[in-house]
């Protein structure tokens, strides 16, 4: 098995229509760079409603001219929270010849942020359509991407012969242009990430700390109330308080002496 060089991609790629609208400027060493396409789906977290969870339709980046200066707007954006899965679609349509096997990966610029490809690493001979990537955000923060951003790489490798019809990907009735609805339905489940569980633990700890603080205040109030009641009882039952004050008897008045 021999991998195609960048030169071979440049020379044979356009004629074989490896990528629809083949652009030699997208060749990166011995790989062809693919970009994020018009759709994406992100699994909902535990606080989101499954009913509201659906594919995101990403706006296309476009060229514009302002004050005579040409610029390009950013495409629609999608964000993958930490610990969540996503289904991504390429902008480009790919066609793999029957004598070739494709290999796919994420570019390091996005892989280095914690995004992991979990959908597989090859493209069958005879495949036609947009590529679909399943990815997982293993990083600590959300990963933001925009339509048209360089995200994926495609390598080509020769087989020892051209595969017959029994050993190539059966051509679909319709070329893949979007993320299939059944794939979205299978992935539409709440996923409690490690980060969310850590946040929940922190929340519970704060509640416990609050309850402990309230408990200490209640215990102090009860102690003060008990001391107050004990003091009242003490003074009420004390002989010095309950017995009347005895006054000394006055001496009898002297009686007059009669003659």
Which pLDDT belongs to residue 54?
84
Over the stretch 21-79, which tens digit does the pLDDT of each residue have? 999 999 999 999 999 999 999 998 755 555 557 899 999 988 888 888 888 788 999 99
Average pLDDT, the chain: 84
SS3 245: coil
What percent of the chain is predicted at pLDDT more than 90?
52
Cα separation of 105 and 119, whole Å? 10
DSSP β-bridge partners for residue 122? 103
- Tell me which residue of 76, 87, 92 sits closest to 32, measured CA to CA: 92
Q: Which residues contact 141 (CB under 8 A, 6 or more apart)?
A: 82, 113, 114
Strand pairing class (27-28; 31-42): antiparallel
Which pLDDT belongs to residue 254?
61
Which pLDDT belongs to residue 217?
80
> Above 80 in pLDDT, residue 132?
yes
Q: Which residues contact 147 (CB under 8 A, 6 or more apart)?
A: 35, 36, 37, 38, 58, 59, 60, 61, 75, 76, 77, 91
* pLDDT-derived band at 232, boundaries 50, 70, 90: confident
Which pLDDT belongs to residue 247?
58
Which pLDDT belongs to residue 123?
94
> Above 80 in pLDDT, residue 205?
no
Cα separation of 33 and 28, whole Å? 6
- Tell me which residue of 26, 145, 161, 153 sits closest to 76, measured CA to CA: 145
Q: What is the mean pLDDT of residues 126-134?
A: 94
């Amino acid at each position: 098995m021999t991998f195609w060089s960048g030169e071979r991609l440049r020379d044979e790629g356009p004629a074989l229509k490896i990528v629809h609208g083949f652009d030699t400027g997208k060749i990166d060493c011995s790989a062809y760079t693919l970009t994020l396409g018009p759709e994406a789906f992100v699994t909902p977290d535990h606080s989101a409603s499954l009913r509201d969870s659906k594919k995101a339709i990403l706006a296309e980046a476009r060229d514009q001219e302002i004050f005579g200066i040409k610029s390009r707007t950013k495409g629609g954006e999608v964000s993958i929270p930490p610990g969540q899965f996503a289904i991504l679609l390429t902008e480009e349509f790919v066609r793999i010849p029957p004598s070739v096997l494709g290999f796919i990966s994420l570019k390091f610029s996005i892989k280095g942020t914690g995004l992991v490809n979990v959908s597989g690493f090859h493209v069958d001979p005879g495949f036609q359509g947009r590529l679909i990537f399943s990815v997982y955000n293993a990083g600590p923060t959300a990963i933001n991407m925009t339509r048209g951003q360089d995200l994926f790489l495609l390598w080509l490798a020769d087989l020892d012969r051209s595969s017959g019809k029994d050993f190539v990907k059966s051509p679909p009735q319709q070329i893949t242009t979007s993320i299939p609805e059944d794939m979205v339905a299978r992935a539409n489940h709440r996923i409690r990430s490690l980060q969310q569980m850590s946040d929940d633990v922190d929340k519970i700890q704060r509640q416990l700390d609050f309850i402990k603080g309230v408990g200490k205040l209640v215990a102090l109030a009860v102690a003060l109330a008990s001391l107050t009641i004990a003091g009242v009882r003490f003074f009420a039952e004390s002989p010095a308080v309950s017995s009347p004050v005895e006054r000394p008897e006055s001496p009898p008045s002297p009686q007059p002496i009669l003659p």
